[in-house]
Amino acid sequence: MNAGEHKNLNVLVADDNHSDVFIISRGLTEFDAKCAVFDVQDGESLLAALGIDAISGRPIAPDPFIPRPDLILIDLYMPKMYGLQALKLIKRDRRFQHIPCVLMSHSLSEYDRRQAETTGAAGILHKTSNVSEFRASVRAIESALHLKPGQGHFYPEETHTLR
């Protein structure tokens, strides 16, 4: 993502932890000044922002203040709706099937990893509480942006840490 190579990158972050949202936003915008980060607090708000009804999965009017994302980062453990549940509804919607979605968590089980892969996540990352550590992981997120549908996922041997 070189400054002269691309349009503004819109990233939608779904995370109920304000500190994590700050770290993610800061890390992404420091990596790329053209990156615009928008955030929601839970899975239901994520779906509403995208224009997906949380109960039926049917299209509804999206949030007019949040542009169509190029990347969606989803906390695995959120109130109102688990991150994997939200991801399933996003990936069922044809409008969003090709947008990379990365699941994030402070603690991940092998079950969570398998579910993320089968649900359609472009990857899964372990969160930290350090902006400087997050920067190194932006490369892993960047790789998710370049994945073509059916091309694969990034699931390192050990869970990659958002740095």
Query: pLDDT tens-digit profile of 86-142?
Result: 999 999 999 999 999 999 988 778 888 888 889 999 888 878 777 666 666 666 676
59: which DSSP letter? B
CATH no. of 9-161: 3.40.50.2300
Q: How far is CA 46 from CA 23, 43, 54, 114, 146, in A?
A: 19, 5, 9, 22, 23
| Residue 106 identity | H
Helix H or strand E encompassing 160? strand 160-161
CB 93 within 8 A of CB 128: no
Could you state, in order of their start, the residue ranges of all structural domains in the chain?
A: 9-161
Q: What is the largest CA-CA distance in the chain?
A: 41
| Residue 48 identity | A
Q: pTM for the complete prediction?
A: 0.83
69: which DSSP letter? P
148 pLDDT higher than 60: no
Across all residues in the chain, what is the average pLDDT? 82
